[in-house]
Amino acid sequence: MHRTYTTQIDAARKGIFTPQMEQVLAEETISRQDLMERVARGHIAIPANKNHLNLMAAGVGQGLRTKINVNLGVSRDVCSFDAEMNKAKLALQYKADAVMDLSVSGDTEAFRKRLVAEVPVMIGTVPVYDTLTRTGKPTEEITLDDWFETVEIHADNGIDFITIHAGLNRKCAHSIQVNPRLCGIVSRGGAILFEWMAKTGNENPFYEHFDRLLDICEARDVCISLGDGLRPGAIKDASDAPQIEELITLGELTRQAWQKNVQVIIEGPGHVPLHEVEMNVRLQKKLCHNAPFYVLGPLVTDIAPGYDHITSAIGGALAAMHGADFLCYVTPAEHLRLPTAEDVKEGIMASRIAAHAGDLAKGLTGAMDPDHRMSRARQSLDWESQFECAIDPEKARAFRQSSQPSDQDVCTMCGDFCAVKRVRDLGKDRESQSAGFSG
Amino acid sequence: MHRTYTTQIDAARKGIFTPQMEQVLAEETISRQDLMERVARGHIAIPANKNHLNLMAAGVGQGLRTKINVNLGVSRDVCSFDAEMNKAKLALQYKADAVMDLSVSGDTEAFRKRLVAEVPVMIGTVPVYDTLTRTGKPTEEITLDDWFETVEIHADNGIDFITIHAGLNRKCAHSIQVNPRLCGIVSRGGAILFEWMAKTGNENPFYEHFDRLLDICEARDVCISLGDGLRPGAIKDASDAPQIEELITLGELTRQAWQKNVQVIIEGPGHVPLHEVEMNVRLQKKLCHNAPFYVLGPLVTDIAPGYDHITSAIGGALAAMHGADFLCYVTPAEHLRLPTAEDVKEGIMASRIAAHAGDLAKGLTGAMDPDHRMSRARQSLDWESQFECAIDPEKARAFRQSSQPSDQDVCTMCGDFCAVKRVRDLGKDRESQSAGFSG
């Protein structure tokens, strides 16, 4: 079927309601008109590469359910593509909305093709990493064409969104040198581009030749996730001049992308203390013209390796409440090791909790329904329904089964002191319970 | 040594700086003068029963580090006092600030005495539960003296703070009947008193005879933790009329207690959506005249049994940021079973993260120091220091040891793509790295 539009944003501007928009509409509570208007204005992105044939498209942005992403991918030291494919399956099983393949070793293209063929949620990558892996060159020998060829390969492979650290230009690189940081650059893609710029003396290739990037992305409808190469990697570095300078640049690039009908998502911090989370979200929304905001955490303290799924659930929930649209999960393995399958599950659950808590706070239509179902099940001491309503039915069931109460109505925490049962039984005992307190 | 004052608040009002205030001062960054003034005004409580001889006193309130409490205690179905004593030891090992014994079965007094003898942090109980356990009577046969005798026993045993649901009077009981709820009463102590009031037709004994309670508490310097018997047990019930009506009553009782030199802490919700957390804290501080606020969560969604340490870490962190002073931990077992030792550890860590994130956001003096140490250790790829700075060194170490990188500088997540190492090596390569971006 010949498309009369290039990208989702182009379609929306032409008044065309695409099959991908239909898919989004079916899963959300937004109106048809609002969806199309917001896609046209860039406030909602629908990452949907034309070559990702089995994709069930989802939307990211204002008025939609907060989405979560699962990072996976091999490293030099832990390099089993089968293990990573298993993580992708866990992501689907536990209802993640997106998968990013951050592989930096081995035959990345074969794995990427496998992912695109088997994973029906949106898939993201970071072509900068893969340029090093694919070419095997020392960073300083990478050519302009090398960078862009990798982007083209990923686009052709069917990747729905790509992280591009185009905002880390020489001006921003200068900024981290005049505004010293505790932890410098902690973004892998940012560090690679910084190294390339430092060693070659060139400008950031994606900043200098942003139009070349836009042409590639428009042709396959690849959404650009504008990466924050200068995101803070320490509480002390949060919201500093380099971070905000890069954010300003991302806002300028966002407008350029929208002019070429290319969809954009903005990536955000990072390590951020709790009282700066709201400000970060509001500033991103302002400086980037309400483009969807994708936060990597934020982690609200530096001191909890082994528990960073929790530090990021705290920050992510608050970010979502204030308008962040997309949360990148963080696993308990963050800062320590490539995550195991178990880490992946813990990360997904923490991130889903944060997203859902944010949706309740956003007042998203229908978001409270599962909470009401759960609370009704609790009030009626209906354990089977409680498991069904739970975000992780198998874990809830296993916890209860591990510790059996003598009275099946209650649990072993309270036993005969169960408040719900006590008040319920009181109601049964009395003709009219309320009469007791009416005087 | 004869004391010339009854309670900490009495001492502060008389200008006496007690040994307990010295202990608080040694662990906090508040000034001597501020501490004494705030104790005198009730804005800081130092729960310190005269009979808790090995206590290292800690303070709860404005300008102090946010504290965390560990609940433990046997139930009918899981009734090993040794297992509960082991939880108390875990609480100390993992740096909890308080322990509450919620035992509702067996020889509770023997266990309470053992706890007081062996646990040097403040200890709390809920005498209402124990009145049923101790007397073995059906609720409606409990006498006024039964209720107060239990309080006296706990006070004599050396308990530092007792939860008393004195605010759930007949007026508030009427309120939940004219303002229907999804989950009614979920507080165990609240449900027991409600049942007693309904069946006997009497007023709440602790509300009606609050002065009798105050006399007992003043004599041993027992801090009253005014319980929220009507705390919401469902997102839908949060911040409703009965909850706020009870909070108003707690504010009135707070003034009465302070007049009798009795220290007070206010207990708060419960299940609260993220966007109502700030309002709940501010309202408590207002209606209860800046008395210290002790939150039981809050859980920001109902749907995550098995992960309620995370739902409550989100709510607790936000509550602490806005001024909550004391967080009651919640374990992954909440709503499902009596927690295991492993659940207790997970609950403590999640709660400590929330408290610390709150302290960073409160701008508490010195709170950021551990974060800065950790980030400096990360920046210098000093793994041993990272473990030492970690909130749970053993877990961080175990994660890393389980997945060994080929280059000991980095971890298996990024390997040779480690951003920190890449930028550091770049600095080593170049005479002056900064020159590259100065133009």
Q: What is the pLDDT of residues A107-132, one digit of tens each?
A: 999 999 999 999 999 999 999 999 99
**pLDDT digits 0-9 by tens, A286-302:** 999 999 999 999 999 99
The terminus-to-terminus CA distance of chain B in angstroms comes to: 74
* Angle between helices A308-321 and B308-321 in degrees, nearest 10: 60
CA distances to A176, A201, A300 from A209, rounded to whole Å, are: 23, 15, 35
Give yes or no for B301 touching A (CB within 8 A): yes
Known binding-site residues of A for Zn(2+) equal 271, 335
Per the CB < 8 Å rule, is B77 touching A374? no
Query: Is the CB of B314 less than 8 angstroms away from the CB of A317?
Result: yes
Closest CA to A254 of A143, A140, A167, A172: A167
The mean per-residue pLDDT over the stretch A348-369 comes to: 98
Q: DSSP alpha helices (H): ranges in A99-230?
A: 108-118, 127-135, 144-157, 170-178, 188-200, 205-208, 210-220
pLDDT at A434: 47
Q: So what's the pLDDT on residue B430?
A: 61
The pLDDT, as a whole number, for residue B427 is 82
Identity of the residue in B336, B350, B375 whose CB atom sits nearest the CB atom of A182:
B375
Q: What pLDDT is recorded for position B1?
A: 56
What is the gyration radius of the CA atoms in chain A, in angstroms? 24
* Average pLDDT for A256-274: 98
% of chain A surpassing 70 pLDDT: 97
Token code pair at residue B72:
């433990």
- Location of each CATH 3.20.20.540 domain in chain B: 8-362
Please give the pLDDT value at position A439. 44
> What is the C-alpha separation between A312 and B299, in angstroms, rounded?
16
pLDDT tens digits for A222-236?
A: 999 999 999 999 999
Angstrom distance (rounded) from CA A202 to CA A63? 41
Q: What is the DSSP letter of A299?
A: B
Query: In chain B, which stretches have pLDDT less than 50?
Result: 432-435, 439
pLDDT at B436: 67
The answer for B 151-170 residues in CB contact with A (under 8 A) is: 170
Residues 215-234 of A with CB under 8 A from B: 233-234
Chain B CB contacts of A105 below 8 Å = 415
Which residues of A fall within a CB distance of 8 Å from B191? 419-420, 422-423
Indicate the DSSP class of residue B276.
Answer: G
Of B75, B104, B314, Cβ closest to residue A314: B314
| Residue A369 near chain B (CB below 8 Å) | no
| Measured distance CA(A327)–CA(A313) in Å, rounded | 9
Q: Are A194 and A139 in contact (CB under 8 A)?
A: no
Confidence (pLDDT) at A432: 44
Which two tokens mark A349? 């659950």
Q: pLDDT tens digits for A161-214?
A: 999 999 999 999 999 999 999 999 999 999 999 999 999 999 999 999 999 999
Q: Assign A437 a pLDDT band (cuts: 50, 70, 90).
A: confident
At a CB cut-off of 8 Å and minimum separation 6, what does A356 contact? Answer: A66, A367, A370, A391, B301, B303
Terminal CA-CA length for chain A:
74
For residue A390, what are the CA distances in angstroms to A307, A393, B185? 22, 5, 21
Alpha carbons within 13 A on the beta-carbon side of A183: 30
pLDDT at A375: 97
Which pLDDT belongs to residue B432?
A: 44
Concatenate the DSSP letters of all residues of A13-79 into one string.
HTT---HHHHHHHHHS-S-HHHHHHHHHHTSEE----TT-TT-----EETTSPPEEEEEE---SSS-
Q: Pull the structure tokens for residue A16.
A: 């065309």
Residue A429 predicted with pLDDT over 80: no
Instruction: Report yes or no: A181 and A237 within 8 Å, Cβ to Cβ.
Output: yes
B410 in Cβ contact with A104 (< 8 Å) = no
Q: Are strands A326-328 and B44-45 parallel, antiparallel or unpaired?
A: unpaired
pLDDT tens-digit map of A301-324: 999 999 999 999 999 999 999 999
Per-residue DSSP letter, B262: -
pTM for this predicted structure:
0.97
Pick A371's closest partner by Cβ from B199, B303, B392.
Answer: B303
Closest Cα in chain B to A387:
B305
Domain at B8-362: CATH code: 3.20.20.540
**Is pLDDT above 80 for A436?**
no
Contact between A156 and A140 (Cβ < 8 Å): no
Residues 373-432 of B with CB under 8 A from A: 374-376, 378-379, 386, 389-392, 395-396, 399-400, 402-406, 411-420, 422-423, 426, 430
